[in-house]
């Protein structure tokens, strides 16, 4: 495939594995990159030393390009960025913060920068900051998300209509067909999260993977909008949040319910009751754990088949 994103990142397929806290370390990232996509290390759940370790291992495991995702409002952002520059990571995906803060310095170090956005205002802010591409993430995506609740189906054509920048669609994409649909709507590439949580190489706890395979539609929800909106499984922890809302809790009280370390507890340690289980709406369609390479090959194969079927429409 030849397109803007494949050229920008020097990758074979316009398939990007989302940088996900507690799920995407060097094993997953390097395997995705070795399989023709772009693998991303999720630094949001790593301390600086651990991030450096993952980057070094990823470089040993693949000769292809890979990226690191950096949530800009996390406590270790400055140290993470220094390590990324020091280790000559070729691509950085930034999210959850202002693209003005780091884009220039990264670009001066010849690092390609992509910023994650959820509406046109943030897209334009990222473009003005000088990023190379944007990820447009719809309401259906797992984990942290925008406040506007704009879905992939509306967000992609809207951003495409109003910008010229290379555009990566995220949220609701898990198959070759959904990849093709996203590209018809205007995307140059897709970013896939939930399906890679279910890869063999993901560091998600097996309890979490098993839980995902049992989810039905309607089993996730975007909540905690007063703090940072996040899509998660409606488990026992979510019932506590719901109870807090019913009692008219303040934002501070909600913060107390949330506490600390919930995402680690659920996704990495496998506590399905008390943990925060971040996953997208597509989870209702995910029921098997596969090697990352097989996931990518299946998606590419289905994408090509779906293209051929279009002629018959």
Which residues bind to a copy of itself, rule: CB under 8 A?
1, 3, 119-120, 138-140, 147-155, 157-158, 161, 171-173, 175, 177-178, 180-186, 216-218, 221-222, 248, 280-282, 284-285, 306-307, 310-311, 313
| Residue linked to tokens 């202002």 | 98
CB of 297 to a copy of itself, least distance (A): 18
CB of 243 to a copy of itself, least distance (A): 14
Q: Which is nearer to a copy of itself, 164 or 313 (CB)?
A: 313
Best CA proximity match to 118, nearest among 147, 142, 140: 147
CB of 164 to a copy of itself, least distance (A): 17
Q: Which is nearer to a copy of itself, 72 or 185 (CB)?
A: 185
Q: Is the dihedral of CA 129, 169, 283, 64 positive or negative?
A: negative
Measured CA to CA, the distance from residue 26 to residue 115 in angstroms comes to 21
Q: What b-and-e string marks burial along 210-236, b requiring 16 or more CB atoms within 10 Å of the CB?
A: ebbeebeeebbebbbeeeebbbbbbbe
- Looking at the DSSP bridge assignments, the partners of residue 121 are none
Q: Which is nearer to a copy of itself, 105 or 253 (CB)?
A: 253
Q: Which is nearer to a copy of itself, 209 or 231 (CB)?
A: 231
CB of 141 to a copy of itself, least distance (A): 10
CB of 192 to a copy of itself, least distance (A): 13
Q: Is the dihedral of CA 30, 36, 38, 42 positive or negative?
A: negative
Q: Which is nearer to a copy of itself, 51 or 123 (CB)?
A: 123
Q: Which is nearer to a copy of itself, 97 or 157 (CB)?
A: 157
Best CA proximity match to 258, nearest among 278, 273, 272, 238: 238
Measured CA to CA, the distance from residue 32 to residue 196 in angstroms comes to 9
CB of 190 to a copy of itself, least distance (A): 11
């Amino acid at each position: 495939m030849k397109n803007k994103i494949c050229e920008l990142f020097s990758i074979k397929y316009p398939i990007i594995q989302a940088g996900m806290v507690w799920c995407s370390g060097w094993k997953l990232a390097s395997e995705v990159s070795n399989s023709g996509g772009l693998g991303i290390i999720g630094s949001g759940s790593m301390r600086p030393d651990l991030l450096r370790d993952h980057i070094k291992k990823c470089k040993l495991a693949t000769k292809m390009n890979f990226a690191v995702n950096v949530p800009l409002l996390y406590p270790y952002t400055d140290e993470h960025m220094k390590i990324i520059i020091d280790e000559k990571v070729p691509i950085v995906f930034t999210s959850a913060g202002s693209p003005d803060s780091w884009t220039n310095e990264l670009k001066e170090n010849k690092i390609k920068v992509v910023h994650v956005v959820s509406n046109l205002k943030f897209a334009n802010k990222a473009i003005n900051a000088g990023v190379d591409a944007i990820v447009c993430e719809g309401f259906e995506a797992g984990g942290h998300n925008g406040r506007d609740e704009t879905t992939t189906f509306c967000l992609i054509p809207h951003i495409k209509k109003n910008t010229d920048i290379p555009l990566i669609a995220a949220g609701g994409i898990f198959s070759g067909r959904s990849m093709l649909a996203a590209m018809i709507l205007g995307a140059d590439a897709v970013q896939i999260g939930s399906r890679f949580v279910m890869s063999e190489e993901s560091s998600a706890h097996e309890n979490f993977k098993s839980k995902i395979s049992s989810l039905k539609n309607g089993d996730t929800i975007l909540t905690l909008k007063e703090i940072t909106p996040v899509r998660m499984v409606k488990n026992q922890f979510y019932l506590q949040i719901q109870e807090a809302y019913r009692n008219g809790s303040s934002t501070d009280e909600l913060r107390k319910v949330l506490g600390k370390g919930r995402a680690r507890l659920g996704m990495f340690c496998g506590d399905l009751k008390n943990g925060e289980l971040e996953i997208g709406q597509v989870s209702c369609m995910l029921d098997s754990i596969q090697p990352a390479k097989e996931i990518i090959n299946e998606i590419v194969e289905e994408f090509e088949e779906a293209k051929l079927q279009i002629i018959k429409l």
